[in-house]
Amino acid sequence: MTPTPQPGVFQSTDKMKHSGLFNMADVLEVLKMEITSSFFTLNQADFDMHSHPFQEMRFLPKNSYNSNFLATQLHADMLLKYLSTGVEVSAKYPFAFRPTAEKLVNALPEVLREFVISTSERKNGSKIGDAHRFWIECGELTYDASVTGGDKLIYLFGKCPMKVKTHLLKYNAEVIIIK
């Protein structure tokens, strides 16, 4: 049985403790913590329990724990999962869900919509029921800091390679994920 989405259940990020948007606070944290690369993923808490309701955060660097930058990575990963599965899940009990096409994707400009087709809708050989693992990796960010005559600190940033990685999960005869 599919739960019916409730009005107000899909909480806006502006009502949360962290904005979930990459903003100047994130930039300042990245510079202060001297983060030059990062990794973030949500994994099943227990691979033997397929319907386990919780996810385990795995991230690097560890000193980003409890930061706005980590919250931004969490929100980006959740959006990645919503877009790749085509389903948006509420963070509030009873955890209602709705198709991403209902609001999330429709809010995007037309030119972006073709890039956020769920895995099951793509014509790349995937079958409905296939399980994919997605995660985000940020490659090494190079930057240079210099002080000008007016005591201004200036940062010059190089390219920041961002990658969305994917892996088709495989199961054995007992329907246990093969790592």
Q: Is pLDDT above 70 for 62?
A: yes
Note the pLDDT tens digit of each residue in 108-151: 788 877 777 766 666 665 555 566 677 778 888 888 888 887 78
How many C-beta atoms surround the C-beta of residue 35 within 10 A?
18
- Please, are residues 90 and 11 in contact by the beta-carbon 8 Å criterion? yes
CA dihedral 24, 28, 29, 31 (to 10 degrees): 140
What are the domain boundaries of the chain?
A: 24-46+53-168
* pTM for this prediction: 0.66
- What is the C-alpha to C-alpha distance for residues 29 and 71, in angstroms, rounded to an integer? 12
- What is the C-alpha to C-alpha distance for residues 175 and 120, in angstroms, rounded to an integer? 20
